[in-house]
């Protein structure tokens, strides 16, 4: 799971639960199965721009509110880079 998907999926899950919507309802409203929505929401499938706009519409939020803020994205990217560099150093 990549960092961007993880952040988006957590924001979607939080908002969905605030609105008391089930995964079955979200799947229905998106025109996909509950299983497919679950894979999206758990970060196992990459989000498309269409997914983000459709989900934002259902959750009645602006699409950009589902995206990471600059500070979060930067911190996550730094953490990821450190992990990769550490793993590469171990292999040498």
- Residue with tokens 């988006």, as numbered in its chain: 8
Query: H helices of the chain, where?
Result: 3-18, 23-30, 34-41, 49-59, 70-91
Q: How far is residue 54 from each of residues 70, 80, 86, measured CA to CA in Å? A: 23, 29, 38
Using one digit for the tens of pLDDT, what is the confidence trace for 37-77?
A: 999 999 888 889 999 999 999 999 999 999 887 665 566 66
In the chain the first and final C-alpha atoms are separated, in Å, by 25
Average pLDDT across the chain, whole number: 85
When mean pLDDT is compared across 5-14, 15-24, 40-49, 63-72, the lowest value belongs to: 63-72
| Predicted structure pTM score | 0.72
pLDDT for the residue numbered 86? 72
CA 22-28-33 angle, to 5 degrees, is 90
């Amino acid at each position: 799971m990549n960092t961007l998907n993880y952040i988006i999926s957590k924001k979607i899950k939080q908002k969905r639960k605030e609105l008391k919507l089930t995964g079955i309802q979200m799947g229905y409203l998106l025109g996909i199965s509950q299983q497919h929505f679950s894979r999206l929401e758990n970060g196992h499938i990459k989000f498309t721009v269409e997914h983000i706009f459709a989900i934002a519409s259902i959750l009645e939020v602006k699409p950009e509110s589902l995206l990471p803020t600059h500070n979060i994205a930067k911190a996550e990217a730094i953490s990821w880079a450190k992990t990769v560099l550490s793993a590469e150093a171990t292999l040498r």
